[in-house]
Every structure is written in structure tokens, then in C-alpha cells.
Structure 1
Amino acid sequence: MKKSERRVAIALVGVALWLSGLYTTIVGLLYDRPAEFRYGVLAIFFGVAIAVIALNLISIPGLSSKKKPISR
């Protein structure tokens, strides 16, 4: 598995967590369950954070496998 494929797989887990958090939040709002609502919102935040971090790792210096030529 290449590094980019691993990042996409991790981002997919983050998106799945985000979607499950969205579902849990909506159910918590509809049926007036405060704890379920809070855990859903927490899952949304973690899911979005995982997806963003996984997809933006390529922009961190030193982690990219491609070497950029130094312009002088």
C-alpha cells in the first residue's frame, strides 16, 4: 500500500465517523436526547479533523516523497 492510498483510507474512516456523528446528532435532536446529541457533535468534530489531517499531510515539509528542485 502506498502512502497516498493509506492517507485516503484514513480520510475515509474520518468521513465515515463524520457521517455517523451527523446521524447521531440528528437523532439526538429529534428525540430530545442530550447525551446522544453531544456525542454526535463530538464525533463530527473528530471525523472532520481526521479527514483534514489525513488529506493535508502531503503539504507538510519533509513528508512529501517528491523532491523539489532548488531554484537559484
Structure 2
Amino acid sequence: MVQAEPRIILAAVAVFMALAGLGATIRGLLFDSPAFIHYGALALVAGVASFVVLLMPTTADDT
């Protein structure tokens, strides 16, 4: 059985978190809810940043 690296699984979770943040931001804009806009934008930024950091190669990946 092929074992996936935990970083790849966490990166996939980060992508879905970013998508949920985008959805929350759009919902906040449509229904004029500042809390949804702020938390959605925060989730979007955190998800994209986590995705980028998790998929950057490390020194252990050189082998």
C-alpha cells in the first residue's frame, strides 16, 4: 500500500480551508455580514499560506 506523506494530506486540507474561506467571504458580501467577511478572508489567507508552506521542498526531500 502506498503511504501518503502527512504534508500532502495537510496541504489538501489547507486547500479545502481556503475554498471554505472564499465561500464564507462571498456569503458575507452577499448578505452584508462583516463577521463572515473577516473570518472568511482570514481562513482564505491562512489556507493559501499553509498550502504554500506545506508543499515547499525541505532538505530531507533531497534524498
Class of the TM-score when normalised by the shorter of the 2 chains: 0.7 to 0.9
Partners of 1:64 and 1:55 lie apart in 2 by: 11
TM-score, normalised on structure 1? 0.76
Displacement after TM superposition at 1:5 (Å): 2.1
Give 5+ residue unaligned stretches, structure 1: 67-72
Partners of 1:64 and 1:27 lie apart in 2 by: 40
Amino acid of the structure 1 residue aligned with 2:24: T
Partners of 1:41 and 1:50 lie apart in 2 by: 14
Which structure has more helix as a fraction of its residues? 2
Over the matched positions of the two proteins, sequence identity in percent amounts to: 40
Aligned residues: 62
Match of 2:55, SS state, is helix
Amino acid of the structure 2 residue aligned with 1:38: H
**Bigger radius of gyration, 1 or 2?**
1
TM-score, normalised on structure 2? 0.86
After TM superposition, the runs of 4+ consecutive aligned structure 1 residues lying more than 6 A away are: none
Give 5+ residue unaligned stretches, structure 2: none
User: Which residue is 2:61 aligned to?
Assistant: 64
User: Which residue is 1:47 aligned to?
Assistant: 47
